[in-house]
Amino acid sequence: MSRKVTDKAVGDRPVRRVKTIIIGGGFSGLGLAIRLSQQGRDDFLVLERGDDVGGTWRDNTYPGAACDVPSHLYSYSFALNPNWSRSFSRQGEIQQYIRGVAEKYGVLDKHVFDCDVTGTRWNNDTSQWEIESSKGSFVADTVVSAVGALCEPALPDIKGINDFQGEIFHSARWNHDVDLAGKRVAIIGTGASSIQIVPAIAGKVAHLDVYQRTAPWLLPRIDRPYTKVERLAFKHVPGFQRLSRAAIYAARETQVVGLAKFPALMQIFEVLAKAKLRQEVRDPQLRAKVTPNFRIGCKRMLISNNYYPAISRDNVDVVTDGIAEVRANSIVTEDGTEREIDALIVATGFHVTDSPTYETIAGRDGRTLSEVFDEIGQQAYKGAAIANFPNMFFLLGPNVGLGHTSMVYMIESQLNYVADALATVDRLGLKTVEVRRDVQDEYNAGLQRKLSKSVWLNGGCASWYLDKHGNNTTLWPDFTFEFRRLTKNFDLSAYETTKSSRAEMKVGAVQ
């Protein structure tokens, strides 16, 4: 059943009426738009706050930005790209790919760009969602949140940082109008973005201070350009690219055994990482500074061939003392040392378990998603549905993240589930679907039992994987093909439903 987007009024406000609203136009939101279009639906819109599709790959344009998952795996299975230039793609090429897929499948006209969603509230009287945005108001039967975890920059709470007089920006909001050449620069953070930025700018700046709170584990980056022959084979030899993709997937999936099931096996990766560290950092004092004190895999494993050489340069210092304050033109550490700088780069990650977007979504009982998570922790059912939020689904929700392979695989698994859910609602004439709280609780208890054996809870570190309750609410604790099996079809028996009828009869779990 299909219904075109229409307009109506709620009170004195003109409102656009649409059956399904998708919030976010990154890999997941775009993927769902394509899936719905392929199902013959034209009754949806994608509300995207940026000026283009792409999400994190549109926003993160810092020097050196690249993917840490091999190109052939970091793409939609239905839109393979035989023209990847190298084994690990860089930001611009990935963004070009995403844009090309959107154009190929003809869904750009379903996107409302520069549309910042400021509020999403469930109306119990109408059993619909009311959405407020910078582009006006919307009413929808169903809302799908495709807001990624790595989209809301986290700024450090450091005394005086707002008084800094030089150039300052977050890595995800890089200011390309600023020329760092010949300047004294500081970067706060040594995570995935920082280890790409530091080598890209170290040779250009006069001096670079790298403020490190926790040393990351680094593994080799097996990156190289594809030859012309390889690219021809990817394009013209039947099955060759899919075989390459399958081989990459299988190799990556073996890491799950150590990460999620038997953490002691991660010692194999530690041996490799330590050998790399000894070979690339000759200065024993610097090597001691950048040697991690936790089991590899406990935090995100990083790959780089040029970070260690970059921090070994004469014009680069790794600072491990905590920052006491930021002054107008300098940073003062807790030991009293003051280091003058001209520019400050904040590479301190994102709001993952405490996203500000949670505060803008209000469910059936009026509580926001932030308030619900504050009480019970960040929980969902199959990362896709949350009790108290009827007719709302999530892509890249709680415990869908990965630390070893492509998130696109998980996204496509969720696309199967959500698209089937929407089709089921239409087929059965349902007015509302809401996951049962007991089902959600049982599912999350099972997740935490599995996670209790993982390196993420037994590796001796604190990470952004954990919420304030100490639970890992970010990562999937099993093989990804197991998640694909669980999300193959929408399981309506796990949901409370109401049927569209004059009596509004509550039918519970419809079979």
Digit-coded pLDDT (tens) for 464-475: 788 777 888 899
Asked, for residue 3, whether it belongs to a domain, the answer is no
DSSP state of 300: -
Q: What is the mean pLDDT of residues 54-60?
A: 94
Residue 8 has pLDDT above 60, yes or no: no
Mark residue 349 as left, alpha or beta (left: phi above 0; alpha: psi -120 to 50; beta: remaining). Answer: left
Least confident segment among 107-111, 225-229, 258-262, 457-461: 457-461
186 lies in the same domain as 274? yes
The string of DSSP letters for 407-447 reads HHHHHHHHHHHHHHHHHHHHHHTEEEEEE-HHHHHHHHHHH
| Residue 298 amino acid letter | C
42 lies in the same domain as 178? no
Q: What is the mean pLDDT of the chain?
A: 92
Neighbours of 356 (CB within 10 A): 10
328 lies in the same domain as 382? no
Element of type H or E holding 250: helix 240-253
Residue 331 has pLDDT above 60, yes or no: yes
Residue 510's pLDDT is 34
pLDDT tens for 192-241 read 999 999 999 999 999 999 999 999 999 999 999 999 999 999 999 999 99
User: Of 468, 451, 276, 301, whose CA–CA distance to 373 is shortest?
Assistant: 468
Per-residue pLDDT band at 463 (split at 50, 70, 90) = confident
Residue 503 has pLDDT above 70, yes or no: no
Least confident segment among 7-11, 44-48, 106-110, 193-197: 7-11
346 lies in the same domain as 198? yes
Mark residue 182 as left, alpha or beta (left: phi above 0; alpha: psi -120 to 50; beta: remaining). Answer: left
371 lies in the same domain as 239? no
Q: Looking at the 3D structure of the chain, how many domains does it have?
A: 2
Beta pairing partners, 274: none
User: Which residues lie closer than 8 Å to 104 by C-beta, 6 or more apart?
Assistant: 79
Beta strands 111-112; 44-47: pairing state: parallel
Q: Are 177 and 427 in contact (CB under 8 A)?
A: no
Asked, for residue 62, whether it belongs to a domain, the answer is yes
Please give the share of the chain, as a percent, with pLDDT higher than 70. Answer: 93
Residue 128 has pLDDT above 70, yes or no: yes
Domain boundary among 295, 316, 350: 350
Residue 138's pLDDT is 98
184 lies in the same domain as 124? no
Please give the share of the chain, as a percent, with pLDDT higher than 90. Answer: 85
pLDDT tens for 395-442 read 999 999 998 999 999 999 999 999 999 999 999 999 999 999 999 999
pLDDT tens for 169-193 read 999 999 999 999 999 999 999 999 9
Residue 150 has pLDDT above 80, yes or no: no
Range of the domain at 296: 153-224+232-350
Asked, for residue 295, whether it belongs to a domain, the answer is yes
Q: What is the mean pLDDT of residues 52-65?
A: 95
In angstroms, the Cα distances linking 9 to 3, 6, 116, 134 are 17, 10, 21, 17
pTM, entire model: 0.92
274 lies in the same domain as 183? yes
176 lies in the same domain as 266? yes
299 lies in the same domain as 265? yes
44 lies in the same domain as 167? no
250 lies in the same domain as 164? yes
Q: Are 504 and 498 in contact (CB under 8 A)?
A: yes
In angstroms, the Cα distances linking 287 to 271, 283, 306, 477 are 15, 6, 15, 32
| Residue 63 amino acid letter | P
Task: Scan for tokens 């209000």, then name that residue.
Answer: 362
Neighbours of 228 (CB within 10 A): 8
pLDDT tens for 240-282 read 999 999 999 999 999 999 999 999 999 999 999 999 999 999 9
DSSP state of 475: B
Q: Which CATH number belongs to the domain containing residue 265 in this structure?
A: 3.50.50.60
Instruction: Please tell me which residue, 86 or 153, carries the higher pLDDT value.
Output: 86
Domain boundary among 350, 367, 401: 350
Q: What angle do CA 446, 351, 471 make, to 5 degrees?
A: 25
Task: Indicate if the alpha-carbon torsion angle 101, 103, 107, 112 is positive or negative.
Answer: positive
Mark residue 160 as left, alpha or beta (left: phi above 0; alpha: psi -120 to 50; beta: remaining). Answer: left
| Three-class secondary structure of residue 89 per DSSP | coil
Residue 505's pLDDT is 40
Asked, for residue 109, whether it belongs to a domain, the answer is yes
Domain boundary among 333, 350, 367: 350
329 lies in the same domain as 184? yes
